[in-house]
Amino acid sequence: MGRILLHAGMHKTGTSSIQASLSSGLSDPGFIYLDLGEPNHSGPLINLFGMKPKSYHGNRKRGLSIQDLQTIRQSLRSNFDNQLKSLGERTAIISAEDACRFSIQELTLIRDSIASHGHQVEVVIYIRPPRGYIESAFQQLIKGGQSSFQLENAYPHYRNLVLFSEVFDKDNCSYRIFSRAHLHQGDVLLDLLHKLKPGLMPTKQAVVNEGISLTALKFLYVYRKHGPGYGADKDAIRRNNGLVGRLARLKGGKLRLDTKLTDKYFERSKNDLAIVGSLLSSADYQVFLEEAMSVEANVHCEDDLLRFSPKEVEELVELSKILRVTIPEDYESYTNPQAVAEIVARLMPAGDQPKRVEDIPTVIKGKEGYLFLAGGRHSPYAYAKGQLQVNPKSIQTFWRNIRLRRDQMRNRKIAYLHLVVPDKHNICKEVFPEALPFSLYSEYINGLPEDSASLVNSVIYPLHPLKSKFRETCSQVDTHLTPLGYVNCLQEINSSLEITKQRELYKKHSNESLISLMGSFVVAQKGWPGDLGSKLDPPQTQTRMKLKDIDTIYFFSNRFTNGNNGICDIHINTALDDTSPVVLIFGDSFGRSLARVIARVAKEVVFCRTPFLHVDIVNQFRPTHVISQNIERYLSSVVMDQERPLFWLYPLLKGEPYQPPLDFLHAVNALSARDRQPYYHFIKSLNNS
């Protein structure tokens, strides 16, 4: 029986250097480092045992498809099993820092796979104290492309570490503090090898992914924030590593964050810290806590990373001369962040500048005349290709919003759902010109906290019904759905309300009966270019269809045209009685079109253009149903509902003259006075008109 040593990180504890050194070979033939195709075993392990390998950051950056991952898994399985079969009584080392983020199911699969070969598993994990971890992790995030001063993304997550004791048994797990004073000869690699066998050494000791100086980090950060950024092509990783390597030549002091910035972690992570206390010895835990006590800080806020002294600019210029890079002669005037970013961008040799996300064409032509939105503010193509990644904080914010909205509406006994309208490239994959491995909504599902699984019942993503007949549900020249596409969305909303035992919008008999409620489709416009076809030269057009108007549905709008947020539409269907639904929709232009469809089965529909759910508007109109909505590409960034402005102030906050039509004001006044005379008088006036 052999022995497997699983070195599971954690991150920011010298893992890259450990892996590079061990992969070069060991001085004792009784010890081997598994060959899984790359020194860092994190990717191979997630591709071999991961529940969601497609979401793994390394696979995203490489743009791997499901088929690619299936092939990789088969190859890894054969390689992994063959090496364990031939291990004999030797000791094999596996090093994967991402293992400290694996689920209990994934760790169990690893354990069982090794056990099937009769080998014993020991786990070693080095735990880095929070302040040093945050500083190192934040630096790594900037290296990886982050362009915002969001330290939350760099917070350590200790809670998963206890899973190793549960899966592999606590007696087989060794948790050690990452502190030079407590490591063998002050070196984490030598400490790990000394635990295996005193005197064991690597054939070659490598130093990889060393931290860069504060000066280098500042130049890299300003480049991320004000320069071309990380890039959006397959070679972006290599080029960015090259830029980091060049900036690393700038020496100096390291990043030291103000304790006021890191104290926020201690305030919100008491449970995590308690877990560490249960894993480390009392002496090590005391060192763990004392590490954050005092520090001479050099960064107190984001501005400290964006201010450059003449000496720092001069150092950058000298580096440019060494690299034989031409810079502007008036570089001394380059003191603002945007100008400094221009100099940093020149450190990449000619022809090596990354293709910016902004350079992706706005419109991509597909098959059968279908056009797709690719660029623009939300960069849907870059996210679908894995060239951009969603901020985890945005995913957390989305689900917090859903929980808050669900509970707020539940307390008011109002039926609630959130609709995510799938992006067109996900609906019309059959005619998109290339494979797109990722969908934004899938990232949000993958990021759903395990203790919040019930929240998915409050969200619908009607991909299948739209995709199954995309030629009828999607326009060729426009990002929006056809009227039939919105009818499909209504069907899914109604079914979800039924499943969650909430009041349905209409009595469901068959799809045909709903179509009959909609009325007939008529030509709205010939030679219509849509919002995509109009961007081409010459424009591409098609015939636009719409639902035929119904005489009993009255429409009112505030006619706000100086922006998007703040638009309000009201639909009143006088043919329906008081038992019919009253629906309030918060959403974007897709929700606005959906409102016109729902107006055929609801007595009243109010649409508010906003990314937030405004409780004050709910209280004002007292609906039976509330629907919040967004198009999938808007998931690129989600903001908490608490940051919403007062809805009616949206137009006024633009600082421009604005006067809504009088008939709209009468409609708002009436619907705000339901069960009172102003409401009854207004409805009566519509019936008599």
pLDDT band at 229 (very low <50, low <70, confident <90, very high): low
CA separation for the pair 447, 445 (Å, rounded): 5
pLDDT at 237 exceeding the cut of 80: no
CA separation for the pair 80, 78 (Å, rounded): 6
pLDDT band at 504 (very low <50, low <70, confident <90, very high): confident
**R_g of the chain computed on alpha carbons:** 29
Q: Supply the pLDDT for residue 3.
A: 95
pLDDT band at 586 (very low <50, low <70, confident <90, very high): very high
Q: Supply the pLDDT for residue 352.
A: 46
Q: Supply the pLDDT for residue 587.
A: 97
pLDDT at 288 exceeding the cut of 70: yes
pLDDT at 513 exceeding the cut of 90: no
pLDDT at 523 exceeding the cut of 80: yes
CA separation for the pair 373, 423 (Å, rounded): 9
pLDDT digits 0-9 by tens, 12-26: 899 988 998 999 889
pLDDT at 162 exceeding the cut of 80: yes
pLDDT digits 0-9 by tens, 291-334: 766 568 899 999 999 999 888 988 998 888 888 777 766 655 55
Mean pLDDT, residues 650-668: 90
Asked if 366 contacts 476 with a C-beta cutoff of 8 angstroms, the reply is no
pLDDT digits 0-9 by tens, 76-111: 999 999 999 999 999 999 999 999 999 999 999 999
Q: Which run of H or E residues covers position 594? A: helix 589-598
CA separation for the pair 154, 350 (Å, rounded): 33
Check whether domain 3-211+256-279 has CATH 3.40.50.200, yes or no = no
Q: What is the DSSP string of 192-214?
A: HHHHHSTT--BSS----SPPPPH
Least confident of 168-177, 233-242, 466-475, 544-553: 233-242
Q: Supply the pLDDT for residue 262.
A: 85
Whole-angstrom distance between the N-terminal and C-terminal Cα of the chain?
A: 90
Mean pLDDT, residues 434-449: 84
What's the pTM value of the predicted model, to 2 decimals? 0.56
pLDDT band at 438 (very low <50, low <70, confident <90, very high): confident
Tokens in use for 98?
């991402």
Mean pLDDT, all residues of the chain? 88
Least confident of 62-66, 108-112, 362-366: 62-66
What is the domain partition of the chain in residue ranges?
A: 3-211+256-279, 212-253+308-359, 368-687
Mean pLDDT, residues 252-269: 88
With both helix axes pointing from N to C terminus, report the angle between 259-268 and 130-143 in degrees, rounded to the nearest 10.
Answer: 110
Q: What angle do CA 77, 79, 84 make, to 5 degrees?
A: 95
Mean pLDDT, residues 358-384: 85
CB-based contacts of 109-117 (< 8 A; 24+ apart in sequence): 109/49, 110/6, 110/45, 110/49, 111/167, 111/168, 113/49, 113/80, 114/4, 114/84, 117/2, 117/81, 117/84, 117/85, 117/87
What is the number of other CB atoms lying within 10 angstroms of the CB of residue 647?
19
Q: Which run of H or E residues covers position 288? A: helix 282-290
- Residues near 51 by Cβ (< 8 Å), separated by ≥ 6? 103, 105, 106
CA separation for the pair 50, 41 (Å, rounded): 13
Mean pLDDT, residues 643-659: 89
Per DSSP, the chain holds a count of helices (H) and strands (E) of 30, 16
pLDDT band at 210 (very low <50, low <70, confident <90, very high): confident
pLDDT at 57 exceeding the cut of 80: no
With both helix axes pointing from N to C terminus, report the angle between 310-322 and 337-345 in degrees, rounded to the nearest 10.
Answer: 10
CA separation for the pair 651, 649 (Å, rounded): 6
Mean pLDDT, residues 629-653: 93
Q: Supply the pLDDT for residue 152.
A: 87
Tokens in use for 222?
């300003």
Mean pLDDT, residues 118-139: 94
Q: Supply the pLDDT for residue 215.
A: 94
